Amino acid sequence: MTRSTPSDIAFTDAVKAVQAAKGSRDRIERFTQRRPWATRLTPDIADFIAARNSAFLGTANRDGQPYIQHRGGPAGFLQVLGERTIGFADLTGNHQYISLGNLSENPSAFLFLIDYSRRRRVKFWGKARVVEDDQSVLERLRLENGKPAQRAILFEVATWDINCPQHIPLMVDASAAANALAERDARIAELEAKLANAGLQSPRNPPDPEIR
């Protein structure tokens, strides 16, 4: 199939045929013509990527059997290395190496990022490769403990699109919630100290009714 627009990487002839049968093809075509899918990472999307602590990497073997693997780390473990390149350290897990095996025979890959607190998700289509012998790349993707990555995955973006927030559950990261509660408690303690210094009683600690 000849691709005339970036979205054709997702909207194959088979997908377009289903869209036409279901009555959505004309609407989708008008939308993608009015707002073509991007092929480069904008500053806004780069910031979105840098803030993520979780990602899903999709690969497939040469026969087309798909596989999705979760990747996680502190915010910043996903790094934008160029206007079309995302890189991250590949940490050793259960030693199944399904993603690595798939990429060795089929570089086509998919990256799915989601922000549950803001109900925003971004889909990236492209190709990925494993890097094990480029020290400059491994150093740049250095792990949180200070050690360089033993292996990295570089994802070359072909196109990306932002999904609507429909059906995304609203969830807050546990560490973010803990930080917010700690800030609240610190603020309450600060205000209580000011009340005490002014000789006033905190509403959280009303005077004993037996004391006159």
Distance CA 195, CA 167 (A): 46
Question: Residue 68 has what pLDDT?
Answer: 96
Q: Given a cut of 90, is residue 79 above it in pLDDT?
A: yes
Structure tokens at 10: 């997702």
The mean pLDDT of 204-210, rounded to a whole number, is: 58
More reliable by pLDDT, 115 or 170: 115
Predicted confidence band of residue 172 (pLDDT cuts 50, 70, 90) = low
The 10 Å Cβ neighbour count of residue 164 is: 9
Closest CA relative to residue 45, chosen from 89, 6, 84: 84
Q: What rounded mean pLDDT belongs to the chain?
A: 86
**Which of 15-19, 48-52, 70-74 has the least mean pLDDT?**
70-74
Is the whole model's pTM more than 0.85, yes or no?
no
What DSSP string describes 69-130?
EEEE-STTSSEEEETTEEEEE----SS--HHHHHHHH--EEEEEEEETTTTEEEEEEEEEEE
